[in-house]
Structure 1
């Protein structure tokens, strides 16, 4: 069924071109009028196909593409009235303007990444609007000035060639750096833009003197039929492969923000000989717009860097500081002691019998207990300068600054009692989750941070081997257990 649907979809553009060709053969003297109907219908169908695809998959990209097609159809409609009813051999000012303006929404859709913040896209929209205004000025100057028809045609052809080349280049670049989600749109636009550039170039340079109603009109239909087929067909549903952004050269991605300003600068240069003030204004707008856009992008990058830096110091499971953050803070505080001998305490905390807890209740419950214990330990911290971090596995660590050994032992005891008071099941009979804590406090003769950390580890080892659910602290001479009851006063049994 799907295969048959794809065949029918692929046949529709062919049938459209065949219908246009048949009308040229059968219409006789009315061939021009009949051909105009097909020439207007082609972009209308392409626009409707883009809007349909946008309704199905999201309007990002497809909506401006549909608007561009309808704008082009408006230009052809104006050309039809000028040719059939006003006896104007060449396109009037309105039609020429619409043909040029059709590229503005395409340039915006291709040059303004959808993942940018709305402020950046607003700048892109303002630059695209300025580009449309310059196109309007350019067309007006070309048609209103007293120049020979050949000079006017040559200037218009140059403008169209530049616009079509830019659109094809933009589409190709964005397809190279596409994401999987955006691949259908950028591939469709790349194929369309290249076909349109080739067909328009041939017609403008080799068939410009040919009246409407000839066989060259079929070339006008071709790019729109290609776009319509890509929009409503299914050439992408079978998979496009990996996204190209990861393999594309970095210079391609970095040069993306230049697309609209570069187009604006190019059109401004074309206007220098007609209106220097407007041309200079366009150059200034392009420069300021690009500068503002770059500033907004840099601000976003700074925010992302700050967020990445924050996340790199946070433990993903518990939400408290991770081992990396712990190492950095400990090194900083240890270096600070060289300038002022401020006392420093280190607490090493381990959840008792955590392996049995995981075996009994599963890792999901174990992870939840880790988060709960981490929150309790953080809540027992004395001030903002203190740091509670996940050291690894079921082990935590706390750095307490400006504190004497007695106060450090009191905080450690508060942590122990608070965790035991939670009454979390430990998986060891009727016991509850408890913790063992080793405390080390800096001495005047301490010179190596590794010795300091080893002392806290040794104190933790002593606490666990003295019965768990207790605090052990290093003294000046040896490690000794703090006199704390091994069993909760609430009657819970030590785990």
Structure 2
């Protein structure tokens, strides 16, 4: 149905040109202004429930600027006594049409708002510089035979850059929502490039209201159809390394274009050119610094995740192995005490089977938090050893203090009230003073043997390495 409506739109435009030309092609101007407005509406509709909403909104803004330029052309054609600023105003809007497009093409995948503001300022100044350079040709159209050709060439360059950048971003994007945006923009930009080239170079002598106006509808209607199409964008994708290269190089587009266009206008707009040079340098430097901060923060977060158990928030097995080895090395050098507590939640499998996995996860989280809180000293380290087992590294503490800590942990868990009932723990202690074993693995083996002895003796108890378990079952 949308395709049929698009064909009917072009057909209606052709009928208006043939039957109702009107003064200065008024009927055709209505269709020429309506096509980008329809495409903008389709992009805004797509942005309502799309993760790549910013891209669709940027395209819609570009289309509104273009429609504004065409609207001013219509006013200029209808009123011969319009002020001289009218042609310049329409030219400005046609130039600024490219600013939102270049802005969205230069963006990386995820950026903080400050970086977006910097890019927006650079894109806006780029549009101003491009307008100044294009206007310098427009001012000499009547007196210089090459002025019109130079102005047409500037628009060709603008359209070609947008099309090429959009195709590259389309081919390198692996996020379906963003890929749909770049696909729509690339196909639209290619169609617009061909149509604009033909209109500007082969029909520039004709006024609006001719049949070639129907070609101008095509890119905008194509974009509207692509925006209304919700299917994911598929097709060729660059290799991951090349895709990352494109993504990393995207932010260079704006400062590079600022430097190039600033060089073009340096003779007739030196202050603006200097502003472009300064903004290109400072803007890129500042956005690079902000991006580096983001990367460092993300790296810190990844490092934290690599060391932390995702469910309980205590150290994971990898971090535990590293800390145990480090503490064993330190105790070996200094001759100080080192203790290791292995903690197992009694009958956890039965608890998990009876109450479900969510309740089991809550139990693990509650016990881990209690162990973390009860371990007390900053030097003590609590880790999830695996499954329902936890480990507590206790450096520099005498044996009686270690035993007191283990008993305190046992009593705290025994008193813990969960919605599903109470749980208990068994604790195995390994202690060295000074460390005389060959490696830290022996300390772990001793603690594991003590934990096994505690469970074999009835659970809910503390057992020291080499100690014969005594006492009744406390369950």
Farther-moved stretch of structure 1 (190-199 vs 201-210): 201-210
Other structure's SS at 2:262 match: helix
Query: Compared with structure 1, are the counterparts of its residues 396 and 30 closer, same or farther at alpha carbon in structure 2 (3 Å cutoff)?
Result: same
Q: Which residue of 2 aligns with 1:438?
A: 428
Q: Is 1:179 the counterpart of 2:201 in the alignment?
A: no
Contact 2:183 2:233 (C-alpha < 8 Å) held by counterparts: no
Q: Is 1:118 the counterpart of 2:113 in the alignment?
A: yes
Farther-moved stretch of structure 1 (390-399 vs 364-373): 364-373
Q: Is 1:343 the counterpart of 2:343 in the alignment?
A: no
Query: Compared with structure 1, are the counterparts of its residues 327 and 48 closer, same or farther at alpha carbon in structure 2 (3 Å cutoff)?
Result: same
Q: Is 1:480 the counterpart of 2:474 in the alignment?
A: no
Q: Which residue of 2 aligns with 1:129?
A: 124
Deviation at 1:121, TM superposition (A): 1.0
> Residues 135-284 of structure 1: matches in 2 within 5 Å?
135-144=130-139, 148-176=143-171, 177-231=173-227, 233-234=228-229, 236-237=230-231, 239-241=232-234, 247=240, 249-284=243-278
Deviation at 1:296, TM superposition (A): 1.0
Q: Which residue of 2 aligns with 1:401?
A: 395
Deviation at 1:351, TM superposition (A): 1.8
Contact 1:353 1:426 (C-alpha < 8 Å) held by counterparts: no
Whole-Å Cα distance in 1 between the matches of residues 417 and 28 of structure 2? Answer: 85
Whole-Å Cα distance in 1 between the matches of residues 402 and 142 of structure 2? Answer: 91
Contact 2:138 2:151 (C-alpha < 8 Å) held by counterparts: no
Contact 1:120 1:293 (C-alpha < 8 Å) held by counterparts: yes
Deviation at 1:311, TM superposition (A): 1.3
Q: Is 1:42 the counterpart of 2:35 in the alignment?
A: yes
Other structure's SS at 1:440 match: strand
Contact 1:179 1:245 (C-alpha < 8 Å) held by counterparts: no
Q: Which residue of 2 aligns with 1:465?
A: 456
Q: Is 1:452 the counterpart of 2:447 in the alignment?
A: no
Whole-Å Cα distance in 1 between the matches of residues 70 and 255 of structure 2? Answer: 28
Q: Deviations over 1:193-237 (max 9, x none)?
A: 111111112222232233323232222221112122223x33x34
Whole-Å Cα distance in 2 between the matches of residues 57 and 468 of structure 1? Answer: 55
Other structure's SS at 2:383 match: strand
Q: Is 1:68 the counterpart of 2:62 in the alignment?
A: yes
> Residues 397-436 of structure 1: matches in 2 within 5 Å?
397-422=391-416, 432-436=422-426
Other structure's SS at 2:392 match: strand
The count of corresponding residues between Structure 1 and Structure 2 is 470
Q: Is 1:295 the counterpart of 2:298 in the alignment?
A: no
Whole-Å Cα distance in 2 between the matches of residues 78 and 364 of structure 1? Answer: 64
Q: Is 1:311 the counterpart of 2:301 in the alignment?
A: no
Other structure's SS at 1:121 match: helix
Q: Deviations over 1:323-363 (max 9, x none)?
A: 11101111221222344223211111112222333333333
Other structure's SS at 1:61 match: helix
Query: Compared with structure 1, are the counterparts of its residues 93 and 178 closer, same or farther at alpha carbon in structure 2 (3 Å cutoff)?
Result: farther
Farther-moved stretch of structure 1 (434-443 vs 258-267): 258-267
Whole-Å Cα distance in 1 between the matches of residues 146 and 468 of structure 2? Answer: 98
Contact 1:426 1:433 (C-alpha < 8 Å) held by counterparts: no
Whole-Å Cα distance in 2 between the matches of residues 414 and 48 of structure 1? Answer: 67
Q: Deviations over 1:403-454 (max 9, x none)?
A: 1111111101111111122266999xxxx52221111122323341112211
Whole-Å Cα distance in 2 between the matches of residues 154 and 341 of structure 1? Answer: 86
Contact 1:437 1:472 (C-alpha < 8 Å) held by counterparts: yes
Other structure's SS at 1:150 match: coil
- What's the TM-score once normalised by structure 1's chain length? 0.86
Query: Compared with structure 1, are the counterparts of its residues 252 and 325 closer, same or farther at alpha carbon in structure 2 (3 Å cutoff)?
Result: same
Farther-moved stretch of structure 1 (288-297 vs 106-115): 106-115
Deviation at 1:150, TM superposition (A): 2.8
- What's the TM-score once normalised by structure 2's chain length? 0.90
Whole-Å Cα distance in 2 between the matches of residues 165 and 345 of structure 1? Answer: 70
Whole-Å Cα distance in 2 between the matches of residues 426 and 192 of structure 1? Answer: 61
Query: Compared with structure 1, are the counterparts of its residues 388 and 481 closer, same or farther at alpha carbon in structure 2 (3 Å cutoff)?
Result: farther
The correspondence for 1:331, drawn from 325, 328, 331, is: 325
Contact 1:17 1:221 (C-alpha < 8 Å) held by counterparts: yes
Query: Compared with structure 1, are the counterparts of its residues 392 and 178 closer, same or farther at alpha carbon in structure 2 (3 Å cutoff)?
Result: closer
Contact 2:108 2:247 (C-alpha < 8 Å) held by counterparts: no
Whole-Å Cα distance in 1 between the matches of residues 369 and 419 of structure 2? Answer: 17
Deviation at 1:258, TM superposition (A): 1.8
Deviation at 1:94, TM superposition (A): 1.6
Deviation at 1:395, TM superposition (A): 1.1
Deviation at 1:277, TM superposition (A): 4.1
Structure 2 runs not aligned, ≥5 long: none
Contact 1:64 1:105 (C-alpha < 8 Å) held by counterparts: yes
Whole-Å Cα distance in 1 between the matches of residues 417 and 411 of structure 2? Answer: 11
Farther-moved stretch of structure 1 (399-408 vs 43-52): 43-52
Contact 2:125 2:276 (C-alpha < 8 Å) held by counterparts: yes
Deviation at 1:133, TM superposition (A): 2.2
